[in-house]
Amino acid sequence: MDRMLIDRKALLRNAMQAAADLRDATGFDQFDPADPYVAAAKLSVKVVFLGASMEGFYFKGPPGRILLSGLRPVPRRAFTCAHELGHHWFGHGSTMDELKEDERSESNKPEEVLANGVAAFFLMPTAGIRGAFARRGWNIAAPTPVELFVVACEFGVGYLTLLNHLSYTLREINGTTRTELGKWSPQRVRRLLLSEEYDSLIVVDCHARAATFDVEKGAAILLPLDARADGVALEHIRTSAEYEVYRAAKRGCASITRENQAFEVRVMPKLYEGPAGNRFLEDPDENN
């Protein structure tokens, strides 16, 4: 067997354990979705969004700092934040991650394999992902595109990010199924679920366990039919056969409640620049 394959497997095992330790250290369990920005704050790592064409930058410090591109999709930023946290956790030196199109990096640099592995397992813990499919009664080995999209939304990652994790890391999806699911894009799933046109979409069903869902202003949000949304951040658009359709209308947080379920949908401005902790603060001067 190729030595590099052996080394990569060993690195991923180390990354999986590090992700579990990172969750323990920052107050997250090993099952439910975790917020990488909260984890960074608990480790005293400052996270800032910039209007720069890059993935992310980790500055070792002290104190540690993470710079992220506000130009990237919201799920991609979360993955990159977790990736940079991986560098921090392992004590790597300052590093810049250039613009990439796929979270499944083929880098042979041990530091990058470790950081990517930490990001994947921190955001998509094995037991949590398997449990998400199981409690919905969905086949993790052969999900539909919509099923894959819904679970990706719950864990705050992209459709292809979850598909790659299930295919290449967890080995739950075979090559043929991966190819078929890879023909679907988030845009295609969005067109299947919505008659209106939106820049982005998240779907929250009655099985979701995430405490927060992050979107940019203008995004569409599908909520369970019995969900109640409080606050001005979301605007109700219509009721469909399966979901209440909302639009992210204003910067801020909306509290969503239903029987045995409560969470927040947090709306940030498009192309936000500034400290991560301020991105959802309500703007008193916002009129639209």
For residue range 114-156, list pLDDT tens digits in order. 999 999 999 999 999 999 999 999 999 999 999 999 999 999 9
CA torsion, ordered 146, 124, 136, 190, to nearest 10 deg: -20
Residue 12: band (very low, low, confident or very high) from pLDDT cuts 50, 70, 90: very high
Claim to verify: residue 161 and residue 241 sit in the same structural domain: no
Taking the alpha carbons at both ends of the chain, their separation in whole angstroms is 59
Claim to verify: residue 158 and residue 170 sit in the same structural domain: yes
Asked if residue 161 lies in contact with residue 152, where contact means CB atoms within 8 angstroms, the answer is yes
Claim to verify: residue 234 and residue 257 sit in the same structural domain: yes
Claim to verify: residue 115 and residue 20 sit in the same structural domain: yes
φ/ψ (deg, to 5) at 61: 80, -150
Residue 8: band (very low, low, confident or very high) from pLDDT cuts 50, 70, 90: confident
Which of these, 268, 278, 288, 274, lies nearest to 73 by C-alpha position?
Answer: 268
pLDDT computed for residue 1 by the predictor: 38
- Domain C-terminal end among 133, 160, 193: 193
pLDDT computed for residue 108 by the predictor: 77
pLDDT computed for residue 236 by the predictor: 97
Read off the pLDDT of each residue in 218-238 and give the average, rounded to a whole number: 96
Give bridge partners of residue 222 from the DSSP assignment. 203, 245
Claim to verify: residue 147 and residue 240 sit in the same structural domain: no
Read off the pLDDT of each residue in 206-219 and give the average, rounded to a whole number: 97
* Residue 132, domain extent: 125-193
Claim to verify: residue 134 and residue 168 sit in the same structural domain: yes
pLDDT computed for residue 100 by the predictor: 61
Q: What CATH number did the domain enclosing 23 receive?
A: 1.10.10.2910
Claim to verify: residue 58 and residue 110 sit in the same structural domain: yes
Claim to verify: residue 160 and residue 110 sit in the same structural domain: no
Residue 286: band (very low, low, confident or very high) from pLDDT cuts 50, 70, 90: low
Length of the chain as a residue count: 288
Point out the least confidently predicted range of 8-12, 34-38, 71-75, 88-92. 8-12
Read off the pLDDT of each residue in 7-11 and give the average, rounded to a whole number: 89
Query: Above pLDDT 70, what percent of the chain?
Result: 93
Claim to verify: residue 67 and residue 161 sit in the same structural domain: no
Claim to verify: residue 167 and residue 255 sit in the same structural domain: no
Claim to verify: residue 38 and residue 13 sit in the same structural domain: yes
φ/ψ (deg, to 5) at 276: -60, -35
Q: Is the per-residue pLDDT at 3 higher than 70?
A: no
- Domain C-terminal end among 193, 228, 248: 193
Other beta carbons within 10 angstroms of residue 68's beta carbon come to 25
Q: How many structural domains are present in the chain? A: 3
Q: What CATH number did the domain enclosing 269 receive?
A: 2.60.40
- Domain C-terminal end among 193, 212, 245: 193
Q: Is the per-residue pLDDT at 5 higher than 60?
A: no
What's the gap between Cα 193 and its chain centre?
A: 20
Higher pLDDT, 104 or 278: 278
Q: Is the per-residue pLDDT at 282 higher than 90?
A: no
Asked if residue 57 lies in contact with residue 66, where contact means CB atoms within 8 angstroms, the answer is yes
Burial 45-61 (b: 16+ CB within 10 A, else e): bbbbbbeeebbbbbbee
Claim to verify: residue 225 and residue 243 sit in the same structural domain: yes
Read off the pLDDT of each residue in 215-242 and give the average, rounded to a whole number: 96
Amino acid at 243: Y
